[in-house]
Chains A and B, each alone.
Chain A
């Protein structure tokens, strides 16, 4: 049980995927200008990350490992993720038009989020079992959502701030992201394992 809590704390705060491991930076910069779209992106990413870590685990354990072709894992994971995302999109569109409207274009975009592939590969490296993989994916998504929503809130304020001319636009965004990453490094060292 404590093991599971550590996985969550570790992925959300200590080894945050965006600010500490620098994965998934493009949606982090791209979709963080408005808090509404940041929330939509967070929801969609949470769903896809959790699902895709499960799919990747199943592909690896029941197809690649028995056939002894582990070296295919990157391409196999990408395929699995793409299929899972497409399938989810169709399912959501049919079952919940409202949710489809909220997630909207974010769902297909997530296929190219490197954090998704990163979680799948890191799960392998850490030799997680099925449930731990799920939890790791979910934790990574929670961390991504937390940082994305916080950063979107920051940028909404920045939009109204009196920023010196050379720093306007993406420049001040990058600098704030860097300061945020520094702040998150303060969590380093919590829970040594």
Chain B
């Protein structure tokens, strides 16, 4: 009997507590500042921290709170212009204190030299480095944001930043075979 009563009591308590919390989550939902979301979308999401904040989202919150909009080197002038338009302010030039605008970069590990220490994996803010302890690591190029954060922790300095070969505009769609035939014929 006591077993049943204990189960009933525990069930009642958890059900009541759960119901109360579930109701409260809906009832007292807090809408975040929609401006922060919009700003966050404009920022490049490199999570590099060059602005002085721990990531893009905190910087977006800071901008919504009135911080300068020219602290994002990876985004460069394009991002500043977009932010200026959104916030209806004059577009300043990039604040050199936080770094300079560079072409899109990607990290490449010289794999023969990698000792498998996992330090760069822990430093990567977007989990773009693949590897395990004492195994060779490599960078997933499509995930890498080129933030430089993996360079400093590497004990053997085997990470290079190279300019991204990927074109920054979408390439034209691949021609289908019959179109290509015509193209081939056109070229001597």
Those of B1-46 within 8 Å (CB) of chain A: 2, 5-6, 8-10, 12-14, 17, 20-21, 24-25, 28-30
Q: How many residues of A contact B (CB 8 A)?
A: 21
Which residues from B are CB-within-8-Å of A72?
Answer: 6, 9-10
Task: Report the number of A-B residue pairs with Cβ-Cβ less than 8 Å.
Answer: 49
Distance in angstroms between the alpha carbons of A94 and B32 in the assembled complex? 11
* A86: interface (CB < 8 Å): yes
Main secondary structure of the interface of B (DSSP, over half): helix
Distance in angstroms between the alpha carbons of A68 and B13 in the assembled complex? 15
Which residues from A are CB-within-8-Å of B29?
Answer: 94
Stretch from A21-29, A59-67, A115-123 that touches the partner: A59-67
Q: Are B24 and A68 in contact (CB under 8 A)?
A: no
Q: Are A90 and B9 in contact (CB under 8 A)?
A: no
* A69: interface (CB < 8 Å): yes
Q: Are B13 and A67 in contact (CB under 8 A)?
A: no
Distance in angstroms between the alpha carbons of A93 and B24 in the assembled complex? 11
Distance in angstroms between the alpha carbons of A97 and B141 in the assembled complex? 42
Distance in angstroms between the alpha carbons of A59 and B20 in the assembled complex? 15
Which residues from B are CB-within-8-Å of A68?
Answer: 2, 5
Q: Are B9 and A93 in contact (CB under 8 A)?
A: no
Q: Are A90 and B24 in contact (CB under 8 A)?
A: yes
Q: Given A68-B2, A93-B28, are A86 and B21 also a contact pair (CB < 8 Å)?
A: yes
Q: Which of A69, A71, A95 gathers most chain B CB within 10 Å?
A: A69
Partner of B12, one of A63, A71, A82, A93: A63
Q: Given A67-B5, A83-B20, A83-B21, are A93 and B10 also a contact pair (CB < 8 Å)?
A: no
Q: Given A93-B28, A93-B30, A94-B28, are A83 and B5 also a contact pair (CB < 8 Å)?
A: no
Which residues from B are CB-within-8-Å of A67?
Answer: 5-6, 8-9
Q: Please, could you name 17 A-B residue pairs with CB atoms under 8 Å apart, sorted by A?
A: A63-B12, A64-B9, A69-B9, A72-B9, A72-B10, A76-B9, A76-B10, A79-B17, A82-B17, A83-B17, A83-B20, A87-B20, A87-B24, A91-B28, A93-B30, A94-B28, A94-B30
Q: Give residues in B with beta carbon < 8 Å to A.
A: 2, 5-6, 8-10, 12-14, 17, 20-21, 24-25, 28-30
